[in-house]
Amino acid sequence: MLFFIGFMPLVLLRTRLRLAGLVPIAFAFALPAFSDGNKPQLLLISEDGSLVSIIRGDKAALSKRRPPAFVFDQWQRALSIKVKLPPVETENITAQFNGADRFDHLGETRTATARAALAENLKAARDSPGLFICERGEWCVASLTGTGPTVAQIFRPALTGPACDLADIIVSVYRPGFQTCYSGSFLITPSLRRQTGTLQLAVITDTDDPDPAALSASPVSLCEKKQVSVTPAVTTTGRQWNMHRLYNWRRDEYAEPVILPHRLNFVSDSGGSDQRACPEP
């Protein structure tokens, strides 16, 4: 619109006044640069959980070196992504898990080893926010901001529990056998993604200070300013074309719709993770 406001006097007027049309044209070209800087930082999670991405401006940090084209091409067009940041890959426990079935239960020794390696990768992720660090075939972790929430994409169901204790947002690629984290972290399971489709989580940086009166009224009000909004691709499963998302073919019945929080607040805790998610209605 600004371009046309400036373009019309530039071509219709014959005097020097037509040069005033250059001002709105200049604003029209400069506006995208300013708007990109004000875009919230996004965390995108594909419906099958195979791809997680942190979007900041025109850059996308990916949990896969070669993302699935069908999914990423849509994100790239919709969000004007120009730069892809591949993950940093490690192989700290690959040898110990070599030959182990992905869905096997792990013994205490291997679980402790994996937990220690996961904690180490999360520490490295906090030192390099906005970039994924992946243990090949096991997990990918990242920190949205240096002091903000951490995300862990888990490829082995037996490691979902330790991830709940260490990270703030957990994306379980396969069914872990439970739907919530006892630690309070936000768990995104295949059952949840089946109903919501692709999930978009946006970091909110300009929230108002909490009301001091509310701090003493509710434990949830103790949440700090580190907030994340949650937006699903599928907003309702009540439509006929979305009813299949509720159907459980193993039990031959329809599941109850998931109540997804619109916003998550992360608070400090004395546990393994720096933050805890408390849903806000």
Which amino acid, 270?
Answer: S
The helix/strand/coil state of 25 is helix
Q: For residues 23, 25, 28 and 29, what is the CA-based torsion angle, rounded to 10 degrees?
A: -110
Maximum Cα–Cα distance across the chain: 83
Model confidence, pTM = 0.76
Closest CA to 274 of 123, 116, 139: 123
Render each residue's pLDDT in the chain as its tens digit; 281 residues: 655 565 566 566 567 665 565 565 565 555 555 444 456 789 999 999 999 999 999 999 999 999 999 999 999 999 999 999 999 999 988 878 877 888 888 889 999 999 999 999 999 999 999 999 999 999 999 999 877 799 999 999 999 999 999 999 999 999 999 999 999 999 999 999 999 999 999 988 654 444 444 334 344 444 445 789 999 988 877 666 677 777 676 777 777 777 888 899 876 543 445 555 666 54
Residue 45 has φ and ψ, to the nearest 5°, of -130, 120
